[in-house]
Each structure stands twice: as structure tokens, then as C-alpha cells.
A and B are shown apart, each in its own frame.
Chain A
Amino acid sequence: MSEELTDDEGRELDAAFFVRWLTAAAEAVDREADQLTELDSPIGDADHGGNMRRGFFAVRDALGSEPPGTPGAVLMLAGRTLVSTVGGASGPLYGTLLRRTGKALGDAGQVSEKELAGALRTGVDAVAQLAGASEGDKTMLDALLPAVGALSEGHGLAAASTAAERGAEATTPLQARKGRASYLGERSIGHQDPGATSSALLLAALAQTAALGVSGTEAENGTGAESGEAGRTANGGA
């Protein structure tokens, strides 16, 4: 146990943590669904909010009725559920993100933030490969890549959330090169990308869940103050 605690930042994330994250993500998606659809109206087909809400509600229900025992299994079930319920491109994209991240975590009962960072990198790379997209194409990768970049530099989940938020905002002046928005050419300029925005929401939910501590309530140990600060930062960014 003490060996695990000295692994990196000392925080070990278990299956229950990942269930709390995805439940928080479902709440965030539900809260922001109208905004996501509004962003998707000028450059997409105005279904991103509804699609994400349907998918993440299904994830929340699947995890609530039969929560798997490991972080990897939680993410793989969530990913599979998104693929089968979303109905738009975000289904296979977020489904691939969570499934590949989960697969990379293996069958460990607990994972460190460092291990999660590495697994998320694998998941994001798989999304890039599936979509054939890269940074600057005005897609969810413009939020996800800066986030995993911040994580792999050891800046932690709150910084990753901030990086995702800034990455999403930075899609506004870009011209879309992937997806339906790319048909609009220059007319896609001046709109924030809905996929990058929902990606930032998921990262914010992750940072906030981590800031709440191991038990899901306010952390009661010495790291509580630091985590609480991270939570406010993430809130402020979202």
C-alpha cells in the first residue's frame, strides 16, 4: 500500500472514482446540452447536445445498475455504451476514447494519475487515428491533445481541464477540416467547435471529481486544501 502511495502524486483512483467521474460528466452534459446543440447549429446538424445527453445518461444507467470492479472495465463499459446509444459521430469517437483508455489501464483495481495520463494518451491517439484528424482541424482533438499534453508533463488533472477549456476556445478562429463543418469551408470560422467543447466538459468533470477526493466527499486529509483549489480552478474554467 505504501509503495503505491509513493508511486507519483499519491492518489490512487479506483473503479468507484471512475463511476463518479462519468456520473458527473453525465450531469455536466445534461446541464450544457442546450449550449452544445447551439454551438452545433451553425456548423453542424444541431444534435450534439441531445446525442451526448442520450449517450451519457445511458452510461450513467449502465454503471449504476451494474458497476464493474476495475477502472479499466468501467471505462470500457462506458465506451461501449456510448457507441451503441449516441447515434452521431461523437458516439464512436468518445466510445473509442473511453474504450481504448480503459483497455490501456488493464485489470488493475486502482490506478495512479500518472497511469491514467498514459492511458488517456493511448485513447486520444486512437481517436485521432479513427477520425484521421490532427490538432488544428477544429475537432475534439483540439481540446483533448492539450489536456493529455498537460497531464504527460505532470501538471495534473486541474491543469489538464484548463488546457482543454483553452483548446476548445481556441477552435473559434479555425476553419474546420473534418466532419460536417468542413463542408462549410471558411464559413466554419468564428464558431467554437461543439466536440472540443464537450471534451472540455468531460475533462472538467474529471478534475472536479478528483478534487472532491477519494471518498467522493470533501477530502479530509492533508491534500484536501490543494485539491479544493484545483476544483475551484476547474469550476472557474468551465
Chain B
Amino acid sequence: MAQDKRVGIVLVSHSKEVADSVAALALGLAGVPEAPVTGAGGLPGGGLGTSAELITEAAHRMDSGAGVALLVDLGSAVLTVKSLLAEGDELPEPARLVDAPLVEGAVAAVVTAAGGADLETVAAAAEEAYAYRKL
């Protein structure tokens, strides 16, 4: 599997620190320091919120031709990504909003993407994280 065409992963949170830290956590747990994952958190000038510009920029930066999976926290992060997808030309093709818990889903997505899986497989792995029960 060609390593230069891996699925990109964008982690969207209201908080820049949360998004960047979850990206670092997923990289660390996946043991693949060079996997294409990045945070897109907070507002461009700092502060809590969701930025369509930061998300769009991150998605294009992570895209190497195999598509981009976007994992989000809640509220406006969900709505902003949904509306960017509905717009059609803002995000790289294919891009997908993944219905997954942010932290657990990010780890699953990064591990799967690092192995060269396609976008559908990466998304499925992240979505499976909902089935991981802690009790």
C-alpha cells in the first residue's frame, strides 16, 4: 500500500488545545509519528469556537489524494463540518464527517489510516469506537 496516499485526519474541537492534544495523543498511541493527523480547534485568533477557515485549511493540508476524515466534538463543530460538506467545493474530495467519539475515534482512525486503509475503512474503525464499553 502506497504510504504517500494515506487518508488524512482532521480533529475539530471548540478548543485548539483539545484538538492538538488529541492529535498528539493519537499519534503517540498509534506509534506512527508521521501519520497525517492534525487538530483544527478554536478560533483563528484564539478562544473557544469553531472556525470553518481553520477546518478547511487543515483538511487541504492533510489531503494527499486518499480523502480526509473529520472527527468533531459537538455543537457548532458538527454543524460547521456538515455545512462545509453540503457546500460541495470547500473540502477536498472525498471528505467525510465521521460519527465517532473524538478521543477514542481519533486513535482508531490514526492507527487504521497509518496502515494505508481507505477512507471508508478509516471511518468505520473510528465509528466502531462507540462500541468500546468501559463497564
Contacts and interface: CB of A to CB of B under 8 A. Distances in A.
Interface of A: 45, 47, 51, 80, 83-84, 87-93, 95-96, 99, 126, 130-131, 179-180
Contacts of A95: 83
Contacts of B86: 96, 126, 130
A130 B49 contact: no
B79 A131 contact: yes
A51 B83 CA distance: 17
Contacts of B21: none
10 contacts: A83-B80, A84-B51, A87-B76, A88-B50, A89-B75, A92-B76, A93-B79, A130-B82, A130-B83, A180-B75
A126 B43 CA distance: 25
Nearest to B81: A92
A91 B50 contact: yes
B53 interface: yes
Contact of A87 (B43, B82, B84): B43
Contacts of A130: 79, 82-83, 86
A116 to B, nearest CB: 22
A82 to B, nearest CB: 9
Given A89-B75, A91-B76, A180-B75, A84 B53 contact: yes
A223 B84 CA distance: 42
A99 B87 contact: yes
B24 interface: no
Contacts of A92: 52, 76, 79-80, 82-83
B12 to A, nearest CB: 12
Contacts of B76: 87-92
Contacts of A87: 43, 47, 49-51, 76
A171 to B, nearest CB: 18
B35 to A, nearest CB: 28
Contacts of B82: 92, 130
Contacts of B48: 45
Given A51-B49, A92-B82, 17 more contacts: A45-B48, A83-B80, A84-B52, A84-B53, A87-B50, A89-B75, A90-B76, A91-B76, A91-B80, A92-B52, A92-B76, A92-B80, A92-B83, A93-B79, A95-B83, A130-B86, A180-B75
Contacts of A180: 75
Interface in B76-111: 76, 79-80, 82-84, 86-87
A52 B30 CA distance: 40
Contacts of A45: 48
A109 to B, nearest CB: 24
A123 B105 CA distance: 33
Contact of B52 (A47, A83, A126, A179): A83
Q: Which of A47, A83, A93 neighbours the largest number of chain B CB atoms within 10 Å of its CB?
A: A83
A201 B82 CA distance: 25
Contacts of B87: 80, 83, 99
Interface in B95-129: none
A52 to B, nearest CB: 13
B10 to A, nearest CB: 16
Contacts of A131: 79
Interface string B42-75: 0100011111110000000000000000000001
B14 to A, nearest CB: 9
Contacts of A80: 87
Contacts of B47: 87
